[in-house]
Structure 1
Amino acid sequence: MKKIFFACLVLFLTSCERLLEEVPTDRLSQENFYQSKDDLIAALNAVYSQVRGANSYGTNYPAQLNGMTDYCISRGTQIPVSEFQGLDGTNIARTDAVWRDLYQSINSANIVIQVTPNVASVSEADKNTIVAEARFLRAFNYYNLVRNYGGVPLRTAPIFEVSQTRGKRASVEEVYKLIIEDLQFAENSLPKTVSAGQAGRPTQGAAKLLLASVYLTRENWAGARDKADEVIKSGVYSLVEVKTSDDFEKLFGADLATTPEEVFYIKYARITGQGWGYPSYQHPADGPYTTGVRAHFTLPTLPLIRNWSDKDLRKDYNLYSSYTNRSGRLTTFPAAEPICFRKFRDLPANPAGNDFPVLRYAEALLIYAEAASQANGGPTAQALEALNKVHRRAYGYLSTTTSPVDFSLAGLSAASFRDLVMTERAYEFMMEASRWYDLKRLGTTKLKEVIKTARGKDVKDTHLMWPIPKQEMDNNPDLSASDQNPGY
């Protein structure tokens, strides 16, 4: 059965009356509840609940991020996201929900981290693995927070009531310090691999690759290069080879349990209440794929779309301008919104079973390519080869063998090579909620230039960060009005 781990998670989440009845949430006697490894695993599974939910990776989070790019335009209530002038009340409510769910997940992780050492019946090795998984997830959540809100309150102990919600706004540097410490612990204590039935749980490779991403964001080029290289040299992962555009279903398809390219994915399943909501944003209500609301579209005039080679198999896989509706009639999208995205697709009768690919092997290769070049002051042969592997695969060539579409080192500077990598990342990770982060990594000036060129929009500084929720400002006595992000 597809995604056994989260099928088990469903059973846990729907049979937690015992947990809710026996564990008071207003005092630390909760610690006495955890008596076995199974109890700790159940608590660990709960950390994923908010990450997978509609307010986080389930729908809102990727929808907001994809709409803030140079190739994707939002429709409906998310139009302000794509105007780059700051968020309106409707979309602030969505980012408030992201904040709430990320912190709830952090709180669940903190419970696991706190109680696990005191469970006498569990071996020290198992304790380390459980704590490492919780610390990985805590780091993952804080990484999402710091990139969208800047410095945030650091909470490393459980909170059981609103009166305990406090904490000064930490600096960006302090948040990253905790993230790096958590990930360093995780990479030393997580298993190298997990069984197919546990797909979705983080491994050493996931901790290393997330750490490489953190280093890349912090412009620690040597650190990013080395961590990505450790993932590459581990031998655990490989690119999924393709010959046709439809072969990318072997990488993103809704029927898949896992692939050789998966490093860390948010897992979903074709089970009511456990499907992935975001694919509905990509498709129309009457189309052949996941029943949707068509919340995103693109234009053939946008530079990345206009310059995308038809020979790149990712183009046909990602984009479509017409479809046969459920009555058998050929339908084209409106002239003002002529192209939609179809990377994530499932049959309309099912909750979407696609997984969200947070970290995959192509990321390791492209982080290595960029970081190795930046650290060296220009591209190396190894950096070029890492880039070419992803590029070859995109055109249907074997990734490990030279091809007619290979880039050459001739005439490439550090800056021009980085541009190649950034373009490759845009195509490779299209609609995977990473483009906005990539543009932010290039600096505010470059980000604004890219958006202005592509969309004709002037990006307000207000749009660069999401607002700290009013509820947090009201309930946290350690925050003042001056702690709010500019413009909100």
Structure 2
Amino acid sequence: MKSALKTLLGGVLCLTVTACDKPIDQFLDKAPGVDVNESTIFSSRVQLETYIAGTYRLGIHSPFHYNDANLISTSRLFTIDAAITDEAESEVTFMHTESWNAADITPTSAPAGREDERFFIRWTAIRNANIILERLNDVPGLEEAYKNQVIGEVKFIRALNYSEMLKRYGGVPIIDKRFQLTDDFKVGRSSVEDVVNFIVADCDDAIAKLPATYPSTFRGRATKTAAHLLKSRTLLYAASPLFNAATPYLNMPNAADNKLLCYGNENNSRWQLAADAAKAAIDAASAGGFSLVTDKGVDRNYKFVWEQPDNAEIVLAEKVYNTRARTQFPYYGMAPSSIANAWGGVSVIHNFVRKYEKRDGKPQTWPGGTDLLKKYAELDPRFAQTVGYTSSRYNGDVQLLETFQGGRHAADCEGGAWLKKFIPDAVSAGTPNATYNGIVFRLAEAYLNYAEALNEAQGPMPAAFEAVNLVRQRSGMPPLPASLTKEQFRQRIRNERDIELAFENHRLWDIRRWKVAEQDGVMQGAMQGLRITRVTGSTDFAYQVYTFENRTFLPRMYLHPFPNSEVFKGYLVQNPGY
């Protein structure tokens, strides 16, 4: 068992895949000669654990794009998705985000292209899960409790991969078994409703079978709370305007295929299902030892959550790597080249900075002037824990960040500030290696899911205020005004998600599930930064808001395109507009 645990935590690659450019049928069929390897894999618990570890590596998704040359040859072309949205801009132009910002999204560059480099890897994870479910009883000497745990784990992984595809593509083929050579590989897309139901069923089974917690050395494995959170997230997306609609964002050429894009009706009860699932996740957390971080101080709680691996708030994190240097994945696509000599940093743009409220809960104003540091000091404490701004401490290497014109760190910093979140203080030239925190689920999301869904289902109920206020108050922010209407609460909870879940790969999907991508300054129109200059005789800085880029968003981009390599086989209906 000890060797299997090391395999899980170290992320040893599963034996069944070495490339990412194969078609789906090659991942789902029964390859000649595979029975010999399977006989080995399912000959003992230790071998099974190794296979499960590989399935985790293939099937768990963090905010960071996958980085493994054995699977994705172009992995170094991917930064975090924040630079697709109004959160950020990439320092360099060769990252995948540039294609999104120019609306240059096509089905021809997949599989390892600009849309979804993990498309085929997800099918491999699903195939692994189906094989384990099929062969689990062949492993000798397994007690029932352990077999139930394994079933829960692989159903969670299968559900997670389907949830990731749902939010990208809408309805996708449902594959719940390992294909045999005599099977028809060309399975068509299922409806959004059927895919949601399939995910929820897997989550429910996982919830019933998974343990509440594991020994501390087993962090990275799915728990009951993780399965609850996956169900919560899936139902929240399903209840949102993109899918919970009578008509889709664009019509399919064949009207009958519109069910692949949305439910075909709007039903407010879907919001209540999402609220109930989020509440169940909150209620399950304490048994798993999960809780909001509240004991580090309002100016430290938030940073502790994203910086400290395996803290009490993290329900599940990706465990592919141990320590990483500042010029390695995932840091090389986030750290500014002027600081780490990496591939290029993520510049936080003003469209996002102006979402931060002042510490008293009122909006900040940005008219331009000579009091930039005063403006920054008035903001929500989460700002300074997330953003590296001029004159602030970035890490052990940079005690005084200079993003003003002519400053040491100003080159290609269009927003006027650099992203600090995700880059621990320990990542520096003196101590170059640190364990990165690839958060998949954390408990604060459950509270925000609950507040949003409950408001949409029933209006601004006291329980919705309580949930969001718990998240705000641990960072020193005042409660939301109790007089908010449903529409006002909706805007405040959306803004709260933007701030609390910033850069954790939520914003891109929130924008699209809410169908707000076409609003100016969100995923199209003016992207703004601050032009910062010194003020003679002052310790403060002058700033001016300016537009550094105008982005384009096309309605077809509410969902991803499928790779043409699969569409041309005749079994997949392409999403509209591609």
- The equivalent of 1:432 in structure 2 is 504
Are the aligned partners of 1:281 and 1:293 in contact in 2 as well (CA < 8 Å)?
Answer: yes
- The equivalent of 2:87 in structure 1 is 71
Deviation digits for residues 293-314 of structure 1, max 9, x if unmatched? 22532323x1553654343121
Cα distance in 2 for residues equivalent to 1:162 and 1:341: 52
The answer to whether structure 1 residue 32 and structure 2 residue 9 are counterparts is no
Percent identity of paired positions between Structure 1 and Structure 2: 24
The answer to whether structure 1 residue 406 and structure 2 residue 479 are counterparts is yes
C-alpha displacement of 1:73: 2.4
Indicate which of 16, 26, 48 corresponds to 2:56. Answer: 48
SS at match of 1:394: coil
C-alpha displacement of 1:108: 1.6
Are the aligned partners of 1:321 and 1:332 in contact in 2 as well (CA < 8 Å)?
Answer: no
- The equivalent of 2:99 in structure 1 is 80
C-alpha displacement of 1:104: 1.6
Cα distance in 2 for residues equivalent to 1:72 and 1:208: 31
SS at match of 2:337: coil
SS at match of 2:480: coil
1:32 counterpart letter in structure 2:
S
Cα distance in 1 for residues equivalent to 2:148 and 2:123: 23
2:54 counterpart letter in structure 1:
A
Query: 194-203 or 276-285, which moves further after superposition?
Result: 276-285
SS at match of 1:332: coil
C-alpha displacement of 1:54: 10
1:43 counterpart letter in structure 2:
Y
- The equivalent of 2:557 in structure 1 is 463
C-alpha displacement of 1:145: 0.9
- The equivalent of 1:266 in structure 2 is 318
C-alpha displacement of 1:209: 1.2
Q: Which runs of 5+ in 1 are unaligned?
A: 18-23, 398-404
Cα distance in 2 for residues equivalent to 1:68 and 1:239: 29
Name whichever structure is richer in helix by fraction. 1
Q: Which runs of 5+ in 2 are unaligned?
A: 17-29, 68-74, 240-269, 359-377, 403-407, 528-549
SS at match of 2:316: strand
1:96–1:224 distance in 2 versus 1, CA, 3 Å? closer
C-alpha displacement of 1:113: 1.6
C-alpha displacement of 1:339: 1.6
C-alpha displacement of 1:62: 8.0
- The equivalent of 1:333 in structure 2 is 410
Indicate which of 318, 333, 346 corresponds to 1:296. Answer: 346
- The equivalent of 2:275 in structure 1 is 225
Aligned pairs for 1:29-428 within 5 A:
29=35, 30-33=37-40, 34-51=42-59, 57-58=65-66, 63=79, 65-74=81-90, 75-77=92-94, 78=96, 79-84=98-103, 86-87=105-106, 93-158=113-178, 165-219=185-239, 220-234=270-284, 235=286, 236-241=289-294, 242-243=296-297, 245-253=299-307, 256-271=308-323, 277-287=329-339, 292-300=342-350, 302=351, 304-305=353-354, 307-309=356-358, 310-322=378-390, 331-334=408-411, 336-346=414-424, 347-348=427-428, 350=432, 353-376=435-458, 378-395=459-476, 405-410=478-483, 412-428=484-500
Deviation digits for residues 242-297 of structure 1, max 9, x if unmatched? 425455442122xx441110112212443479x98233222123426xx6322532
SS at match of 2:214: coil
2:115 counterpart letter in structure 1:
T
Q: Whose radius of gyration is greater, 1 or 2?
A: 2
SS at match of 2:315: strand
- The equivalent of 2:571 in structure 1 is 478
C-alpha displacement of 1:125: 2.1
1:143–1:9 distance in 2 versus 1, CA, 3 Å? same
SS at match of 1:117: helix
C-alpha displacement of 1:168: 1.2
Cα distance in 2 for residues equivalent to 1:327 and 1:189: 48
Cα distance in 2 for residues equivalent to 1:87 and 1:477: 18
Cα distance in 1 for residues equivalent to 2:383 and 2:338: 23
Deviation digits for residues 180-219 of structure 1, max 9, x if unmatched? 1111110111001111111111111111111111111111
1:47–1:360 distance in 2 versus 1, CA, 3 Å? same
Deviation digits for residues 120-152 of structure 1, max 9, x if unmatched? 421222112101100100110111111112222
TM-score in terms of structure 1 length: 0.83
1:163–1:328 distance in 2 versus 1, CA, 3 Å? farther
Aligned pairs for 1:5-20 within 5 A:
7-9=6-8, 13=12
SS at match of 2:339: coil
1:31–1:270 distance in 2 versus 1, CA, 3 Å? closer
1:95–1:459 distance in 2 versus 1, CA, 3 Å? closer
Cα distance in 2 for residues equivalent to 1:225 and 1:417: 15
- The equivalent of 2:255 in structure 1 is none
Aligned length: 459
2:416 counterpart letter in structure 1:
P
SS at match of 1:340: strand
CA RMSD, Structure 1 to Structure 2 (Å): 3.5
SS at match of 1:265: strand
2:133 counterpart letter in structure 1:
I
Cα distance in 1 for residues equivalent to 2:124 and 2:64: 11
Are the aligned partners of 1:268 and 1:276 in contact in 2 as well (CA < 8 Å)?
Answer: no
